[in-house]
Structure 1
Protein backbone atom coordinates (compact mmCIF):
# COMPACT_ATOMS: atom_id res chain seq x y z
CA UNK A 1 0.00 0.00 0.00
CA UNK A 2 1.47 3.36 -1.03
CA UNK A 3 1.61 6.51 1.09
CA UNK A 4 -1.14 8.11 -1.02
CA UNK A 5 -3.58 5.56 0.39
CA UNK A 6 -2.87 6.74 3.94
CA UNK A 7 -3.53 10.41 3.30
CA UNK A 8 -6.59 12.34 4.26
CA UNK A 9 -8.48 15.01 2.47
CA UNK A 10 -11.51 14.78 0.27
CA UNK A 11 -11.94 16.82 -2.89
CA UNK A 12 -15.01 18.98 -2.43
CA UNK A 13 -16.79 22.17 -3.38
CA UNK A 14 -16.89 22.98 0.35
CA UNK A 15 -13.85 24.51 2.04
CA UNK A 16 -13.05 22.60 5.24
CA UNK A 17 -10.50 23.97 7.71
CA UNK A 18 -9.46 23.16 11.25
CA UNK A 19 -9.00 26.85 12.03
CA UNK A 20 -11.77 29.18 13.20
CA UNK A 21 -11.54 31.36 10.12
CA UNK A 22 -10.45 31.16 6.49
CA UNK A 23 -7.92 33.75 5.31
CA UNK A 24 -9.37 35.78 2.46
CA UNK A 25 -12.97 34.94 3.35
CA UNK A 26 -15.67 36.52 5.49
CA UNK A 27 -18.23 34.40 7.32
CA UNK A 28 -21.64 35.74 6.29
CA UNK A 29 -23.76 33.22 8.18
CA UNK A 30 -23.20 30.52 10.77
CA UNK A 31 -25.46 27.57 10.04
CA UNK A 32 -24.39 25.43 12.99
CA UNK A 33 -22.84 22.12 13.90
CA UNK A 34 -22.54 19.40 11.30
CA UNK A 35 -21.07 15.96 11.68
CA UNK A 36 -20.43 12.72 9.89
CA UNK A 37 -20.31 9.47 11.82
CA UNK A 38 -19.31 5.91 11.07
CA UNK A 39 -18.75 2.83 13.21
CA UNK A 40 -16.54 0.12 11.80
CA UNK A 41 -15.96 -3.34 13.14
CA UNK A 42 -12.69 -5.14 12.64
CA UNK A 43 -12.90 -8.45 10.85
CA UNK A 44 -11.49 -11.52 12.53
CA UNK A 45 -8.49 -11.77 10.20
CA UNK A 46 -7.27 -8.26 11.00
CA UNK A 47 -7.81 -8.80 14.73
CA UNK A 48 -5.71 -11.97 14.70
CA UNK A 49 -3.06 -10.31 12.53
CA UNK A 50 -3.00 -7.24 14.79
CA UNK A 51 -2.65 -9.45 17.85
CA UNK A 52 0.32 -11.29 16.35
CA UNK A 53 1.91 -8.09 15.08
CA UNK A 54 1.55 -6.38 18.47
CA UNK A 55 3.67 -9.15 19.99
CA UNK A 56 6.60 -8.27 17.73
CA UNK A 57 6.02 -4.54 17.19
CA UNK A 58 5.48 -2.54 14.04
CA UNK A 59 2.65 -0.85 12.20
CA UNK A 60 -0.73 -2.53 12.08
CA UNK A 61 -1.34 -1.80 8.40
CA UNK A 62 -4.77 -3.42 8.21
CA UNK A 63 -6.02 -1.33 11.12
CA UNK A 64 -4.38 1.79 9.71
CA UNK A 65 -6.18 1.27 6.40
CA UNK A 66 -9.49 0.74 8.20
CA UNK A 67 -9.04 3.95 10.18
CA UNK A 68 -8.16 5.96 7.05
CA UNK A 69 -11.26 4.60 5.30
CA UNK A 70 -13.39 5.41 8.36
CA UNK A 71 -12.11 8.99 8.53
CA UNK A 72 -12.80 9.48 4.82
CA UNK A 73 -16.32 8.13 5.16
CA UNK A 74 -17.01 10.34 8.20
CA UNK A 75 -15.72 13.36 6.26
CA UNK A 76 -17.91 12.54 3.24
CA UNK A 77 -20.94 12.41 5.54
CA UNK A 78 -19.99 15.72 7.16
CA UNK A 79 -19.71 17.32 3.71
CA UNK A 80 -23.07 15.87 2.65
CA UNK A 81 -24.74 17.33 5.74
CA UNK A 82 -23.09 20.73 5.26
CA UNK A 83 -24.06 20.83 1.57
CA UNK A 84 -27.66 19.84 2.37
CA UNK A 85 -27.90 22.70 4.88
CA UNK A 86 -26.63 25.25 2.33
CA UNK A 87 -23.07 25.71 3.58
CA UNK A 88 -20.05 26.37 1.43
CA UNK A 89 -17.58 26.01 4.28
CA UNK A 90 -16.90 24.15 7.53
CA UNK A 91 -14.67 25.77 10.15
CA UNK A 92 -13.16 24.30 13.32
CA UNK A 93 -13.37 20.77 11.86
CA UNK A 94 -12.16 17.99 14.12
CA UNK A 95 -12.15 14.21 14.30
CA UNK A 96 -13.12 12.22 17.35
CA UNK A 97 -12.28 8.53 17.55
CA UNK A 98 -13.51 6.19 20.26
CA UNK A 99 -14.20 2.55 20.88
CA UNK A 100 -17.77 1.41 20.31
CA UNK A 101 -17.89 -1.27 22.97
CA UNK A 102 -15.82 -4.27 22.02
CA UNK A 103 -17.21 -4.45 18.51
CA UNK A 104 -15.56 -1.60 16.64
CA UNK A 105 -14.34 1.94 16.36
CA UNK A 106 -16.49 5.06 16.09
CA UNK A 107 -15.14 7.93 14.00
CA UNK A 108 -16.88 11.29 14.01
CA UNK A 109 -15.91 14.29 11.86
CA UNK A 110 -17.52 17.48 13.14
CA UNK A 111 -17.35 21.22 12.72
CA UNK A 112 -19.34 24.40 12.20
CA UNK A 113 -21.08 24.86 8.86
CA UNK A 114 -20.92 28.38 7.47
CA UNK A 115 -21.75 30.44 4.42
CA UNK A 116 -18.77 32.56 3.47
CA UNK A 117 -17.71 34.89 0.71
CA UNK A 118 -14.40 36.32 -0.45
CA UNK A 119 -13.31 39.21 1.76
CA UNK A 120 -13.53 42.68 0.22
CA UNK A 121 -10.15 44.02 1.36
Structure 2
Protein backbone atom coordinates (compact mmCIF):
# COMPACT_ATOMS: atom_id res chain seq x y z
CA UNK A 1 0.00 0.00 0.00
CA UNK A 2 2.98 2.32 0.43
CA UNK A 3 3.15 2.83 -3.38
CA UNK A 4 -0.19 4.67 -3.52
CA UNK A 5 -2.38 6.72 -1.24
CA UNK A 6 -5.23 4.82 0.37
CA UNK A 7 -8.69 5.68 -0.94
CA UNK A 8 -10.81 7.38 1.73
CA UNK A 9 -14.44 8.14 0.96
CA UNK A 10 -17.43 9.47 2.87
CA UNK A 11 -19.74 7.24 0.84
CA UNK A 12 -20.80 3.70 1.73
CA UNK A 13 -20.08 2.23 -1.70
CA UNK A 14 -17.15 2.54 -4.06
CA UNK A 15 -18.51 2.43 -7.63
CA UNK A 16 -17.30 -0.63 -9.56
CA UNK A 17 -15.57 -2.25 -6.56
CA UNK A 18 -16.58 -5.14 -4.35
CA UNK A 19 -15.08 -5.39 -0.91
CA UNK A 20 -15.20 -7.15 2.41
CA UNK A 21 -15.37 -5.25 5.68
CA UNK A 22 -12.35 -5.49 7.94
CA UNK A 23 -13.66 -3.26 10.73
CA UNK A 24 -13.68 0.19 12.23
CA UNK A 25 -10.57 2.36 12.24
CA UNK A 26 -9.77 5.61 14.02
CA UNK A 27 -7.20 8.39 13.80
CA UNK A 28 -7.04 10.72 16.79
CA UNK A 29 -5.04 13.80 17.71
CA UNK A 30 -5.28 16.34 20.51
CA UNK A 31 -3.69 19.77 20.18
CA UNK A 32 -3.02 22.43 22.79
CA UNK A 33 -3.52 26.11 22.06
CA UNK A 34 -0.44 28.33 22.11
CA UNK A 35 -0.63 30.85 24.99
CA UNK A 36 0.57 33.81 22.89
CA UNK A 37 -1.82 32.98 20.05
CA UNK A 38 -4.58 32.36 22.63
CA UNK A 39 -4.07 35.88 23.98
CA UNK A 40 -4.25 37.32 20.45
CA UNK A 41 -7.41 35.30 19.80
CA UNK A 42 -8.96 36.78 22.94
CA UNK A 43 -8.32 40.26 21.59
CA UNK A 44 -9.74 39.23 18.21
CA UNK A 45 -12.93 38.02 19.88
CA UNK A 46 -13.59 41.59 21.02
CA UNK A 47 -13.59 42.98 17.46
CA UNK A 48 -14.82 39.85 15.65
CA UNK A 49 -13.48 37.98 12.65
CA UNK A 50 -11.74 34.72 11.92
CA UNK A 51 -9.07 33.54 14.32
CA UNK A 52 -6.51 32.29 11.80
CA UNK A 53 -4.27 30.54 14.33
CA UNK A 54 -7.19 28.38 15.53
CA UNK A 55 -8.30 27.67 11.97
CA UNK A 56 -4.76 26.54 11.13
CA UNK A 57 -4.61 24.40 14.29
CA UNK A 58 -7.88 22.64 13.38
CA UNK A 59 -6.80 22.16 9.77
CA UNK A 60 -3.50 20.62 10.91
CA UNK A 61 -5.36 18.45 13.42
CA UNK A 62 -7.75 17.13 10.77
CA UNK A 63 -4.83 16.32 8.45
CA UNK A 64 -2.98 14.51 11.23
CA UNK A 65 -6.10 12.56 12.26
CA UNK A 66 -6.69 11.56 8.63
CA UNK A 67 -3.09 10.38 8.24
CA UNK A 68 -3.39 8.32 11.43
CA UNK A 69 -6.68 6.87 10.14
CA UNK A 70 -4.98 5.80 6.90
CA UNK A 71 -2.12 4.24 8.88
CA UNK A 72 -4.54 2.33 11.13
CA UNK A 73 -6.33 0.94 8.06
CA UNK A 74 -3.05 0.04 6.38
CA UNK A 75 -1.95 -1.77 9.56
CA UNK A 76 -5.10 -3.92 9.24
CA UNK A 77 -4.38 -4.72 5.58
CA UNK A 78 -7.11 -2.49 4.17
CA UNK A 79 -7.29 -1.20 0.61
CA UNK A 80 -9.70 1.64 1.37
CA UNK A 81 -11.82 3.34 4.02
CA UNK A 82 -15.54 3.95 3.52
CA UNK A 83 -18.01 6.07 5.50
CA UNK A 84 -15.23 8.35 6.79
CA UNK A 85 -16.29 11.09 9.22
CA UNK A 86 -14.65 13.71 11.43
CA UNK A 87 -15.60 14.66 14.96
CA UNK A 88 -14.02 17.25 17.23
CA UNK A 89 -14.38 18.52 20.75
CA UNK A 90 -12.75 20.86 23.24
CA UNK A 91 -11.02 19.54 26.32
CA UNK A 92 -10.78 21.85 29.35
CA UNK A 93 -11.03 24.96 27.20
CA UNK A 94 -7.46 25.03 25.89
CA UNK A 95 -7.17 21.74 24.00
CA UNK A 96 -8.89 20.51 20.87
CA UNK A 97 -9.35 16.84 19.98
CA UNK A 98 -10.09 15.68 16.43
CA UNK A 99 -10.94 12.13 15.41
CA UNK A 100 -11.30 10.72 11.91
CA UNK A 101 -13.14 7.41 11.76
CA UNK A 102 -14.53 5.01 9.20
CA UNK A 103 -14.74 1.41 8.06
CA UNK A 104 -11.64 -0.32 6.69
CA UNK A 105 -12.32 -2.56 3.68
CA UNK A 106 -10.37 -4.99 1.50
CA UNK A 107 -11.13 -5.28 -2.21
CA UNK A 108 -12.22 -8.68 -3.51
CA UNK A 109 -12.13 -10.00 -7.07
CA UNK A 110 -15.40 -10.33 -9.00
CA UNK A 111 -15.01 -14.12 -9.17
CA UNK A 112 -14.77 -14.61 -5.38
Structure 1 and Structure 2 fold alike (TM over 0.5) = yes
Alignment partner of 1:25 is 2:30: no
Q: Give secondary structure in 2 for the equivalent of 1:22.
A: coil
Deviations along 1:63-109, whole A, 9 cap, x unmatched? 00000000000011000000010001000000000012233000000
Q: How does 1:1-121 map to 2 (within 5 A)?
A: 13-27=5-19, 29-117=20-108
Q: Is the 8 A contact 1:97 1:108 kept in 2?
A: yes
* TM-score, with structure 2 as normaliser: 0.89
Q: Quick check: 1:39–1:105 contact (8 Å CA) kept in 2?
A: yes
Structure 1 residue runs of 5 or longer lacking an equivalent are 1-11
Distance 1:97 1:119 in 2: 38
Q: 1:50 to 1:114 in 2, by over 3 A?
A: same
Distance 1:95 1:52 in 2: 29
Taking the aligned partners of 1:118 and 1:53, their CA distance within structure 2 comes to: 55
Q: Distance in 1 between matches of 2:97 and 2:83?
A: 20
Work out whether residues 31 and 113 of structure 1, in 8 Å CA contact, stay in contact via their aligned partners in 2. yes
- TM-score normalised by the chain length of structure 1: 0.83
